[in-house]
Amino acid sequence: MDALDGNSIAGTLAAVFDTEMTTATGTCANCGSSGLVGEFAVYLRAPGIVARCRICNNVLMVFVDVRGMMCVDLAGLRDLRTAST
Amino acid sequence: MADDGYQAQRSYSIASSPEDDNVVLTVERLDDGEVSPYLVDELRIGDELELRGPVGGYFVWEHSLGGPLLLVGGGSGVAPLRSMLRHHRALDSSVPTRLLYSTRSFRDMIYREELMQTGADAVIDIRFSLTREQPEGWDGYSRRIDREMLAEVAWPASERPLVYVCGPTGFAETAANAPVALGHEPDRIRTERFGPSGG
């Protein structure tokens, strides 16, 4: 399955973080590379939503809706910073 | 939400500019889609939809970002690029802008008349490619977007154009990788992909 990108989960991210996240910068806990969330490789039917590092394919973020409760796993990120503007 | 309580959510790019009176979404009907056939065939004036947004600040061009501005669209991926072009024109911007728009056929071109008119603007240059079927006398490109085409249409890497690529996943990978291979800085290239998984 072809990966989409972080743009496709802008709405989910905004609902979870309550702020604009596609311009946030995330650092991969595996390879240390940094990228904008909008550029993460995103799989919508994983099941749940999975965002992976474009460099090393490490799983960065997982979002699973369990009966209306959004479960969020960010263990694949060393760092996540929203844009300063 | 349907009468029986069923809900479905999808994300769509906004095709209008901030200056437009109405929010315009472009929906491409996918035969095996769940939501797009409903929106295209069934939705009637007076029906209620719930909209959330706008969200996503990544695939956005603001005038302060400058240019030159290179927009590369495939199929319905022209939607957010049309928004940028309308914003550009509403501001009477002097930022040199080029759009390269690829569709299967002349009939498949979305916003065709408007884009052709926009291309008459002195600072906006619009090129088309029809990949499967071309009308008689067609003088645009007739193939899928490739590195050679982007080398012809894009400014040299030394001019540091801002590049926005929007299209189906395969198209977007090709159209975003080609400028990198031509020496453009990856962080000047922004990509928005959509997939057949959307529907």
Interface pTM, i.e. ipTM: 0.89
Compute the average pLDDT of residues B73-98. 96
Q: Which CATH number fits domain B1-199: 3.40.50.80, 3.30.70.260, 3.40.50.970, 1.10.3720.10?
A: 3.40.50.80
Residue A1 pLDDT level (bands cut at 50, 70, 90): low
- What percent of chain B has a predicted confidence (pLDDT) above 70? 97
Mean pLDDT score of chain B, rounded to an integer?
92
- Who wins on pLDDT, A85 or B20? B20
| pTM of the full structure | 0.93
Q: B153: closest CA among B185, B173, B131, B175?
A: B175
Across the interface, whether the CB atoms of B9 and A11 are under 8 A apart is answered: yes
pLDDT tens digit string along A6-51? 999 999 999 999 999 999 999 999 999 999 999 999 999 878 999 9
B53 interaction partners in chain A (CB closer than 8 Å):
11
Cβ neighbours of A52 (radius 10 Å): 20
Across the interface, whether the CB atoms of A37 and B58 are under 8 A apart is answered: yes
d(CA B108, CA A64): 37
Do residues B124 and B88 lie in contact, with contact meaning Cβ atoms separated by under 8 Å? Answer: yes
- Tokens 């590092």 belong to A53
pLDDT of residue B198 exceeding 90, the answer is: no
A7 vs B52, B192, B197: nearest CB: B192
Interface of A with B in 17-56 (CB under 8 A): 20, 22-23, 36-39, 44-45
Sequence ranges of the domains in chain A: 4-81
